[in-house]
Amino acid sequence: MFSYETLKKILFKFEPETAHHIAEFGLKALGKCRIAKAYMEKKNYISNPKLTQEVFGVTFANPVGLAAGFDKNATMIKAMKSLGFGFTEIGTMTPRPQDGNPKPRMFRYPEQKSVQNAMGFNNLGAHTVLKNLKKVYPFSIPIGVNIGKNKTTPEEFALSDYKTLIKKFETTNDYLVINISSPNTPNLRDLQNEKFITELFVMAKEMTNKPILLKIAPDMEASVAIDLCKCAVNAGADGIIATNTTIDYSLVPNCQNFGGLSGACLTQKSANLFKELARELFGKTILISVGGISNGAQAYERIKNGATLVQAYSGLIFEGPSMVRKINEEILELLSKDGFENIKDAIGANLK
């Protein structure tokens, strides 16, 4: 039998970015093949009333979504349900096409089940991504749209880039995500300040009724992160996604000194910051947790700590296409073990 472990050995012979392109090719093909897609959906996609919830006025059949960064150009959406995801997030995309940073810019660390990327918002640009998105939206699972500024856009004109993107994608998303937390665009994280966040969300809420969320980095002090998130919520943000990749290079021995680390090395750091944020923000806004989640116990702990939804990405590289199904199956087992009838009863249970 051809297992993912066999496929992984083959993929890991290629450079990480090349392997990603191979995976993209395969998932695009899967999305076009009805028989294969139906088979994979039946195998991996879990739609259980105990996991189903309404968020942002949209139905999420299960709480596990694909994090931004994997499907930058909205080319793989049709295959996401086949991988078991309850929702997907495309991007990050920028107003103009962008090549990203020089190669090599992606590195894998199999022993630590971690990845490092310095991609730099490489994408085909808002016009092309929107064309791709319009072919599938609305889809059978919710789609989030993650947006960022172009590398060449000066900081003082950053607001204009986000304005352009919000206007462009206004009718083709179930929620929007403001990305000012990637470590791979120079000075982008400098926008994680109260003045810019207030201006951005006040502007955004005047432009669209769609839910708009802020994605934050894991590398700031918890008190600073809490203040920024409170500022965003007060200015109109509908939710917080925590966290992006980390620049704490002490987490992986002999890693590169640039780019962001994700995967298992980020699990504890992301979980700790999320826990601190949720203590202050749970019940006041929607919280989505991402960072080093690859099994049901990790996902369930984030849920009990206040996450309405969780996201994964790097774990897929090491665990394969059955990962999301296993996460959802484990969440169901843990819900039953704790005597919860529905996932909604478990959300924030550790805070009540």
Query: What are the residue numbers of the active site?
Result: 182
According to DSSP, residue 59 is labeled E
Beta-bridge partner residues of 309: 288
Structure tokens at 14: 């290629």
d(CA 42, CA 154): 47
Structure tokens at 222: 């918890």
CA angle, 41 then 175 then 172, to 5°: 80
Let me know how long the chain is.
352
- Assign 302 to helix, strand or coil: helix
CA angle, 50 then 325 then 116, to 5°: 120
Beta-sheet pairing, 212-216 with 58-60: unpaired
According to DSSP, residue 254 is labeled T
d(CA 51, CA 341): 9
Element housing 286 (H / E): strand 286-290
d(CA 233, CA 282): 12
Which alpha helices (H) appear in the chain, and where do they start and end?
A: 4-11, 16-32, 34-44, 77-80, 126-134, 158-169, 194-207, 222-234, 267-281, 296-304, 314-319, 323-338, 343-346
- Assign 348 to helix, strand or coil: coil
d(CA 117, CA 92): 14
